[in-house]
């Protein structure tokens, strides 16, 4: 998502962008999004700064002179490693907040997740920002993203920093190496877990980008800062969601091959085994 956000900011012509990542140099691939960044790096509209969210000194150096920070970094959700997720998602976010305050950053937009309100047991329909955090999380990702979200919201208004958290669902689109490949593998198994009516939120990457940019613009106004500062955004009007079955059809994974239903009790057992093995 971050690369699409960078490209959108550059295309607007209103931003100079400083990109930070772990790699020592900017890693560019193929496609229009990469071309936009490549051109901007060449003409000075974008610069690259290697930084680790777990290293406060590196972040302070990267944030010097910056007005707005979009914090999109997170540990890999597929790895259920609490130590890793706590280090990156919680301690890393705390470092981002501290670096923002040290460098007098004006606005911080944090990419959170709808996973912060999911307990892994009870389905959620038409959930909004009023839903409380669960008492227990199904994995390290949701637990630590919730803790990170609290840090960002608590920082709002301190040292003139304004903050906002965005809670998108499962992001897919060009460059996706997680959602569509996973759906493709699931589709090839021809097994359906539960009654086949399971739902999930899928959101197109450009919609998520638009939500981040709207959040920043809102925080930049006095009235918007009063309304959205220190808040989370979980807006289905902004984030167009797709039913899993329809998404399978759109990417050509429905066919005449027979499907077999697996009872949810069996599915839950398998899930627990996967978590224990990681």
Task: Check residue 124 and give its pLDDT.
Answer: 82
In this prediction, residue 272 carries a pLDDT of 31
From 145, 150, 188, 226, the catalytic residue? 145
Residue 254 has pLDDT above 50, yes or no: no
| CATH code of the domain in which 123 resides | 3.40.50.720
Domain membership of residue 143 (yes or no) is: yes
What was the pLDDT predicted at 26? 87
Strands 107-111 and 68-71 come out as: parallel
In-domain check, residue 129:
yes
Secondary structure element (H or E) that encloses residue 267, with its range: helix 264-277
- At 28 the pLDDT is 80
Q: Give the domain range for residue 87.
A: 51-172+204-242
pLDDT given at position 31: 80
Range in 94-103, 112-121, 218-227, 259-268 with the lowest mean pLDDT = 259-268
Say if strands 17-21 and 46-50 run parallel, antiparallel, or are unpaired: parallel
Q: How confident is the model at residue 233 (pLDDT cuts 50, 70, 90)?
A: confident
Q: Which residue has the higher pLDDT, 199 or 62?
A: 62
- DSSP letter for each residue of 12-41: HTS--EEEEESSSS----SSHHHHHHHHHH
pLDDT tops 60 at residue 215 = yes
Spell out the residues 6+ positions from residue 83 whose beta carbon is closer than 8 angstroms to its own. none
The predicted pLDDT at position 65 comes to 96
In the chain, % of residues over pLDDT 70: 78
Distance CA 113, CA 256 (A): 35
- Quick one: tokens of 118? 């999911």
Kindly report the length of the chain.
278
pTM of the model: 0.82
Is 13 part of any domain?
Answer: no
Do 36 and 15 touch, CB atoms closer than 8 A?
no
For residue 218, pLDDT beyond 90 = yes
Residue 258 lies in a domain: no
Q: What is the per-residue pLDDT across 109-161, written as a single tens digit (0 to 9) for each?
A: 999 999 999 998 888 888 888 899 999 999 999 999 999 999 999 999 999 99
Question: Is 105 domain-assigned?
Answer: yes
Instruction: Specify if 44 maps to a domain.
Output: no
Q: What is the mean pLDDT of residues 247-261?
A: 45
Look at residue 22 and tell me if it is in a domain: no
Is the separation of the CB atoms in 114 and 234 below 8 Å?
yes
pLDDT at 199 over 50: yes
Confidence of residue 266 (pLDDT cuts 50, 70, 90): very low
Sequence-separated contacts (24+) of 55-58 with Cβ below 8 Å:
55/95, 56/95, 56/98, 56/99
Q: Quote the number of domains for the chain.
A: 1
Provide the pLDDT for residue 190: 67
Q: Is 145 a catalytic residue?
A: yes
Instruction: Give the pLDDT of residue 130.
Output: 86
Q: Is residue 274 part of a domain?
A: no
pLDDT at 101 (0 to 100): 97
């Amino acid at each position: 998502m971050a690369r699409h956000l960078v490209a959108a900011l550059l295309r607007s012509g209103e931003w100079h962008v400083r990109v930070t990542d772990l790699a020592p140099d900017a890693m560019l691939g193929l496609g229009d999004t990469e071309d936009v960044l490549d051109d901007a790096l060449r003409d000075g509209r974008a610069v690259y700064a290697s930084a680790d969210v777990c290293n406060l000194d590196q972040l302070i150096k990267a944030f010097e002179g910056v007005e707005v920070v979009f914090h999109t970094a997170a540990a890999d959700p597929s790895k259920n490693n609490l130590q890793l997720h706590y280090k990156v998602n919680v301690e890393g976010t705390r470092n981002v907040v501290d670096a923002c305050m040290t460098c007098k950053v004006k606005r911080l937009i944090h990419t959170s997740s709808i996973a912060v309100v999911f307990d892994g047991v009870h389905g959620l329909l038409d959930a909004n920002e009023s839903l409380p955090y669960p008492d227990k999380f199904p994995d390290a990702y949701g637990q630590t993203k919730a803790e990170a979200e609290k840090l960002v919201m608590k920082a709002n208004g301190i040292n003139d920093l304004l903050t906002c958290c965005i809670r998108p669902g499962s992001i897919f689109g060009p460059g996706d190496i997680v959602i569509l490949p996973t759906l493709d593998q699931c589709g090839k198994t021809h097994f359906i877990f539960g009654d086949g009516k399971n739902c999930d939120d899928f959101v197109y990457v450009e919609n998520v980008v638009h939500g981040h940019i709207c959040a920043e613009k809102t925080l930049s106004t006095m009235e918007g800062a009063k309304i959205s500062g220190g808040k989370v955004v979980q807006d289905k009007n902004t984030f167009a969601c797709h039913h899993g079955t329809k998404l399978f059809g759109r990417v050509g994974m429905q066919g005449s091959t027979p499907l077999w239903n697996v009872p949810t009790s069996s599915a839950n057992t398998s899930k627990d085994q996967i978590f224990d093995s990681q």
